[in-house]
Amino acid sequence: MENFNLLQYGILSMEDISPSEKLLMLQLATSKSLGIERLNVTTSARQLGYTRNGWQKVAKRLIERGFVNNPKRGYYELANTNLF
């Protein structure tokens, strides 16, 4: 869990992304630390209280920056990047 805490602080200290993008990245990082590699859009949006389209809009902004991948239709995962 020590690496997860470092990842959290790495995400929270990023100044060039919005709070909604940080929240989505924290959700992806938390699921990855629990052993879930990919998140479904519908389930993830419901967990955060977003609409499906709103969650996808934030995820697409993160894809453009290279923080998130879309390996399969309807699923997203955290890209292997160094956040520190």
Q: How far is CA 61 from CA 5, 25, 27, 35, in A?
A: 24, 11, 15, 24
Which domains does the chain carry? 2-78 (1.10.10.10)
Q: 81, 73, 80: which is closest to 40 by C-alpha? A: 73
- Which residues have CB under 8 Å from 34's CB, separation 6+? none
Q: Give pLDDT tens digits for 5-31.
A: 667 777 888 888 999 999 999 899 888
Q: Whole-model pTM?
A: 0.83
- Amino acid letter for position 7: L
> Average pLDDT in the 60-76 region?
91
Question: Looking at the predicted structure, is the pLDDT value of residue 53 above 90?
Answer: yes
